[in-house]
Structure 1
Amino acid sequence: MKQSEIVQLTKDEIIEKLENESAALEQLKMNHSVSQLENPMEIRAKRKTIARLNTELTKRELNG
């Protein structure tokens, strides 16, 4: 998910996406520990998306 897409989301949508992405990341990590993932770069992409969502949420809280 790109930053330009995240900016257009509402605060509630960002929180919901953050919860979904975090759960998906945990599932990917679990699957990766059991067996090899087809594309292990998915873990990095999920982490970056979570960071982008957290950054936007923090930015909105600071700006009021």
Structure 2
Amino acid sequence: MKIAEIRNLSVEELKERIAGEEANYTQMRLNHSITPLENPAQIKEVRRNIARMKTVLREIELNNK
């Protein structure tokens, strides 16, 4: 997910996406520990997407104060 797409989301949508991606990340890590994924770079990409979303959410929070 690109940063421009993330910035277009509302705060509530952003929080929902973060929760969903974190659950997906946890599941991917668990599955990878049992049976290796075809593309383990997906784990890194999901982690970075979560970080991007949290960064944008924090920027919104700081601009509203």
> What's the TM-score, normalizing by structure 1?
0.98
C-alpha displacement of 1:45: 0.4
CA RMSD of aligned residues (A): 0.3
Q: Secondary structure at the match of 2:37?
A: coil
Q: Secondary structure at the match of 1:46?
A: helix
What is the match of residue 6 of structure 2?
Answer: 6
C-alpha displacement of 1:22: 0.1
Q: Secondary structure at the match of 2:54?
A: helix
> What 5-or-longer segments of structure 1 have no aligned partner?
none
Q: Distance in 1 between matches of 2:54 and 2:7?
A: 12
> What 5-or-longer segments of structure 2 have no aligned partner?
none
Q: How many residues align?
A: 64
> What's the TM-score, normalizing by structure 2?
0.97
Same amino acid, percent of matched pairs = 42
Deviation per residue, 1:22-52 (Å, 9 max, x gap):
0000000000000110110000000000000
Q: Where do 4+ consecutive residues of structure 1 move more than 4 Å? A: none
What is the match of residue 30 of structure 1?
Answer: 30
Q: Distance in 1 between matches of 2:42 and 2:20?
A: 15
